[in-house]
Structure 1
Amino acid sequence: MTELGRGSRGGILAYLAIAALLTAASLLPLNTVPRPWAAPDILLAVTAAWAARRPDTLPVLAVAGVFLMADFLFQRPPGLFTALVLGLTEWLRSRAPALRRGSFPAEWAAVGAGIVAVALLNRVVLDLAMTPQAPLGLTLIQILLTVALYPLIAGLAQIAFGLHRPAQGEVDNLGHRL
């Protein structure tokens, strides 16, 4: 596939298509027997990879729409997880120049810290609101698997969509610095 350009509609559409596919796959009743472990949040990892690597192709409204729809479909309190993910993407967007200069382990650590913060803040707020939720062990397993899956997701995004970290001084087709 081609490389994603600055603010390109292709990048936005690719993100929205991936988000729709992941959301639909999560809703499919593939197994009705409860598992003793929680699956990783692949949508969160994909969004974090997109925000860390190409924040110029990830508009805030796209992230808000995707996660608000996911809140409704997954029967989560509407807006809480969305707001936390928006905070994560904006934090990653502000750190994009530093992430560009750093190594992949530094990017992985930053994204991992953000995923941990989002999950734990979500849990704390739900605890304060006395909302029933999954046991802490399942939440920790989901966090661990999501962070561990990030390198695979970042690699697949780079191979399939050209979603790489822009090099210093790199410009898009219109001459804008990335």
Structure 2
Amino acid sequence: MPSLKRLACVLIVALAATASAGAAAAQSTKAEKAREVFQVFQGDGLMEQMFEATFAQINAMARQANPELPNEVGEIIQDEILAALKESMPLLMDEMAIIYERVFTEEELDAMLAFYKSPAGQSMIKKMPAMMAETVPLSQRWGMALMQNLPGRVEQRLQDEGYEL
């Protein structure tokens, strides 16, 4: 009977290992899907294009503020910023995938992947840089307009509430 006990122990350990491996595989699958969302979304260097579009706006504002700035200086700054962003992108993608894995269910990740791989999702990804090029300056103008009136509005409200300024 010792061999039967040994066989039973081996089976129990094997079942436990299989169950653990199944749970790990499920988590691995979810983690892989979370990473895949970013890989699909990254298509055609989307993040790099968005950074370039954003930097173009920042560079234009810097040039307005400092018209004497040589073109080479702006190019060097842009090159180094983009190089640093590219180098750090894998770490960002890993960290974002961890958050996506924690926040979203596997079904939600599947739906995201289905959308991003669909013609509409691919169209969105391809058009995102152009959209960002338009929305960044819009957001800046909106923020500046908001900030012009906000201090007076807050001051008036505080006075209305009885606070002396």
Q: Into which bin does the TM-score normalised by the smaller protein fall?
A: 0.3 to 0.5
Q: Which has the higher helix share?
A: 2
Report which structure shows greater RCO (CA 8 Å, sep ≥6). Answer: 2
Larger Rg: 2
- TM-score after normalising by structure 1: 0.30
